[in-house]
Amino acid sequence: MKAIRIHAFGGPDALSYEEVPTPTIRDNEVLVRNKAAGINPIDWKTCSGGGAASFIGKLPFIPGWEFAGVVELVGAAVDGFKVGDEVFGFIRFPEAAGCYAEHLAAPANQIAHKPAQMSFSEGAGLGLAGLTAWQALFDKGQLSAGQQVLVLAAAGGVGHLAVQLAKAAGAQVTGSASAANHEYLHSLGCDAVIDYQTQDVGQALQDIDLVIDGMGGEVGINALQCLKPGGRLVTLPSVTLDAVVRAAEAAGVQASGIRVEPNGAQLAELAKRYAEGNLKLTLAAEVPLAEARSAHKQSAGGHVRGKLILTV
């Protein structure tokens, strides 16, 4: 089969489109004929030696943790999936999962059925960002109806789903983005938007119960000022986690990090909401697998709206 691999850590030019062996499956796994893979910042961070690089073992490494495709083979211990099923998933993270490939082996408890009306590209973009948004809002953030939520980087992969999930949970949602994305954020359900390029977010907003911090670093630290007493911030980028938590401690507010976890049941819930018309995926671009280098460059530019997808 064809796949994208790296043989040494590096920038986008380290990605190589090549022939590799088709994976085999264990009893609790399915073999998937892959149709699309989602791109996330963790992909290029890991390929350049940061991100999840310490978890992936020896090179070569096939990047990618999320996908959508068709089940081709089912392990002996798998219930609930059969050959021909259309599925999507976020798998094995932070260990290597091999989703930038024509076939992949997926643990059955980390995938879900893809609704018929959901495209493979949409399915491939839902797993990592959708579960991050879900786990940050509800598992870590303990969001409840009527609360004020601020989503930093609201137009990005995680942010655009966090806005919709928070709205659906009955929150009042403010999203930060550049002016070009403000109409888009309103279309997702934001009650208010803030332009981080012309306004100081930390000064402009108050009495926020929960910040979902898709930026980290100084942006996350500045947003701590928006929290009401007892409010909390969940910061997503791991590289600046310690600095954000230290700043929160100094300011007397709560901040914590997250490492998104595969979860088939939560994926099924996200799929249900999509099927009911209550959750939409924005696709920034669909790029052929062989052109993964250009997609990594685009993602690293930091201004993707919604999700970038590799089509297989």
Ligand X SMILES: NC(=O)c1ccc[n+]([C@@H]2O[C@H](COP(=O)([O-])OP(=O)(O)OC[C@H]3O[C@@H](n4cnc5c(N)ncnc54)[C@H](OP(=O)(O)O)[C@@H]3O)[C@@H](O)[C@H]2O)c1
Task: Catalog residues that contact ligand X under the rule CB under 6 A.
Answer: 40-42, 129, 132, 152-153, 155-159, 176-178, 181, 196, 214-215, 219, 236-238, 258-260, 299, 302-305
Chain residue whose CB lies nearest ligand X: 156
Taking the least distance from each CB to ligand X, the nearer of 4 and 258 is 258
Which residues, including other chains, have CB under 8 Å from residue 252's CB and lie 6 or more apart?
A: none
Contact 12, 293 (CB under 8 A): yes
- Taking the mean position of all CA atoms in its chain, how far away is CA 283? 13
- Measured from the CB atom, the residue of 29 and 66 that comes closer to ligand X is 66
Nearer to ligand X, 71 or 212 (CB): 212
**Residue 31 beta carbon to ligand X: minimum distance, rounded to whole angstroms:** 26
DSSP for 275-306, written as a single string: HTTS--PPEEEEEEGGGHHHHHHHHHTT---S
Measure the CA angle with vertex 166, ends 161 and 170; round to 5°: 150
- Supply the minimum distance, in Å, between the C-beta of residue 240 and ligand X: 9
Q: Do 145 and 165 contact (CB within 8 A), yes or no?
A: no
Beta-strand runs (E) in 203-273: 208-213, 227-235, 254-256
> How much is the CA Rg of the chain, to the nearest whole Å?
19
The nearest distance, CB 132 to ligand X, in angstroms, is 4
Contacts of 180 (CB under 8 A, 6+ apart): none
Our CB check for ligand X shows the closer of 25 and 158 to be 158
Cβ distance to ligand X smaller for residue 39 or 78 = 39
Query: Least distance to ligand X from the beta carbon of 311, Å?
Result: 18
Looking at the Cβ atoms of 31 and 177, the one nearer to ligand X is 177
Shortest distance, CB of residue 157 to ligand X, whole angstroms?
Answer: 3
Least Cα distance to 65 among 148, 141, 127 occurs for 127
Tell me the closest approach of the beta carbon of residue 47 to ligand X, in angstroms.
13
Helix (H, G, I), strand (E, B) or coil at 210: strand
